[in-house]
Amino acid sequence: MMAFLTGRLGRLWPLPPGGRFFLLQRAAASPSQPRTISILSEALGQPPNTSLSFRSAGIFQSIPRHLSPWSLQQIRTKARGNEYQPKNLKRKRTHGWIKRITTPSGIEVILRRMLKGRKSLSH
């Protein structure tokens, strides 16, 4: 992919004195400096876009030096939301027909569901 892009850059603009990989070497030497855009535009032989250069410089200057992009990521804590682990045996034991029919309140639940017209009276 990178060879494709550098090949296209060479066709659009004249090659810089250092060859195709000159751009990559200069950009890799100073990736966090705000002048990267102007360095790339110098190597391409185009005038730098001043509004873009100032905007990017302002972004870099507003972030304190000790904060890297990785420190601005979210912090992972204890996992939540995985409390419900369904077990069929427990479900049948708690809400099943045998459990409902053996307790007075369970019989009430079945009768209520019968009166309402439920197709399924229990699990």
For the question of whether the overall pTM of this predicted structure is more than 0.75, the answer is no
| Region(s) of the chain under CATH 1.10.287.3980 | 90-123
Q: How many C-beta atoms surround the C-beta of residue 64 within 10 A?
A: 8
What is the model's pLDDT at position 88?
96
Locus of tokens 């005038």: 47
CATH architecture of 90-123: Orthogonal Bundle (1.10)
Average pLDDT, rounded, for the chain: 73
Query: Cα–Cα distance between 29 and 22 in angstroms, integer?
Result: 11
What integer is the mean pLDDT of 86-102?
96
| Residues contacting residue 28 through CB under 8 Å, at least 6 positions apart | none
- Between 61 and 30, where is the model more confident? 61
What is the model's pLDDT at position 34?
52
- Show the tokens assigned to 24: 């990559």
Angle (CA) 73 77 82, round 5°: 120
Q: How many C-beta atoms surround the C-beta of residue 37 within 10 A?
A: 17
Report which DSSP code applies to 72. T
Is pLDDT at 93 greater than 90 in this prediction?
yes
What is the model's pLDDT at position 81?
87
Residue 83, classified by CB atoms within 10 Å of its CB into exposed (0-12), middle (13-18) or buried (19+), is exposed
